[in-house]
Amino acid sequence: MLSTMLPNEHVRDIFHISPSMLKERGVKGIITDLDNTLVEWDRPEATPELMKWFKQMSDEGILVTIVSNNNRTRVEKFASPVEIPFIYEARKPMTKAFRRALKDMNIKAEDAVVIGDQIFTDVVGGNRLGLHTILVVPVAKTDGFFTKFNRRMETVFLAWMKRKGKIKWEE
């Protein structure tokens, strides 16, 4: 049970994830959360730095799909201008959207990583399928209404896991 809540890796932000790092592992595709993973939850479009990151992944042949629990309007408004495929109302940590992303990218689970800022949605969902999970520090210090509860639970869980020696990183 606890193993499904622990990410395989923890990084400060997505910009600490390089195409060369992923290619060394044989990664062909990224399943990424949107809000507070790629941009702040209330930012409507990609930053120039993020657009450069998307291009670097594309240039190296690494596919990217956004899998978000948010609604179609929010996700489409962000993803369409940068031409990134997306799945909205994903109901993470349920695995259906993750499976669909793998199918749409035509890759196997062992060829993908999941990147997200929440343990109880992104990490648990990815781990339930045996995907390599990378937890990032949330981009913003504020959250939408429904995420605030999860954050409080995550804070308690992470503190407990640090005391047990299960995680070594610092926030």
Q: What domains are defined for the chain? A: 2-163 (3.40.50.1000)
2 Cβ neighbours under 8 A, 6+ residues apart: 161, 166
Where does the pLDDT of residue 167 fall: very low under 50, low under 70, confident under 90, or very high at 90 and above? low
Cα distance between residue 21 and residue 145, in whole Å: 35
| Bridge partner residues of 87 (DSSP) | 67
Residue for token pair 């994830």: 17
Q: Do residues 120 and 142 touch, judged by C-beta distance below 8 A?
A: no
Average pLDDT over residues 113-137: 95
Residue 102 — φ and ψ, nearest 5°? -60, -45
Partnered with residue 113 across adjacent β-strands are: 30, 132
Model pLDDT, residue 155: 72
Phi and psi at residue 168, in whole multiples of 5°?
-115, -15
pLDDT digits (tens, 9 = 90+) for 72-96: 999 999 999 999 999 999 999 999 9
Q: Does residue 170 carry a pLDDT above 60?
A: no
pLDDT at 169: 60
Give me the chain's average pLDDT, please.
90
- For the segment 24-39, the average pLDDT, to the nearest whole number, is 97
- Spatial strand order of the sheet with 112-116 comes to 9-11, 132-136, 112-116, 29-32, 63-67, 86-87
Angle at 33 between CA 72 and CA 60, to 5 degrees: 110
- The per-residue pLDDT for range 40-61, each reduced to its tens digit, is 988 999 999 999 999 999 999 9
Handedness of CA 153, 171, 140, 12 (dihedral sign): negative
Partners of residue 116 on adjacent β-strands: 135
Query: Could you tell me the CA-to-CA distances from 150 to 5, 99, 118, 147, 167 in Å, in that order?
Result: 13, 23, 8, 5, 19
Give the rounded distance of the alpha carbon of 43 from its chain centre.
17
pLDDT value, residue 69: 95
pLDDT top residue among 166 and 110: 110
